[in-house]
Amino acid sequence: MVQTEFHVVPRSGHWAIVQDGDVLEAFHSKHLAVEAAMDRAAESQPSKVIVHDADAGVVKRGRGRPATDDAADGAPGART
């Protein structure tokens, strides 16, 4: 069975959940994007979340709750 990967990446001043190159959803904060990606991963087993930093480098891979750098993601915002 193929494992689904949900990437949390910076996109045009927002944070997006990307799967297979397609943006699924965008958020005002990294924290909200990570939370939503974790929800999607929980519903799509087997799966994992890969969190990228502001320069698009990989910060965390795994199925567990990825750590986020709240100081770097700006003020919390609503889903867009």
pTM for the predicted model, two decimal places? 0.72
The pLDDT assigned to 27 comes to 98
Percentage of the residues of the chain whose pLDDT score is greater than 70: 72
pLDDT confidence tier of residue 73, bands split at 50, 70 and 90: very low
Taking Cα atoms as reference points, which of 37, 40, 47, 42 lies closest to residue 7? 37
pLDDT tens sequence across 32-71: 999 999 999 999 999 999 999 888 677 766 664 444 444 3
Mean pLDDT computed over every residue of the chain: 80
Percentage of the residues of the chain whose pLDDT score is greater than 90: 60
Where in the chain are the domains? Answer: 6-45
The pLDDT assigned to 43 comes to 93
Reduce the DSSP state of residue 37 to 3 states and report it.
helix
Tokens matching residue 62? 């795994």
Phi–psi pair at 31, nearest 5 degrees: -60, -50
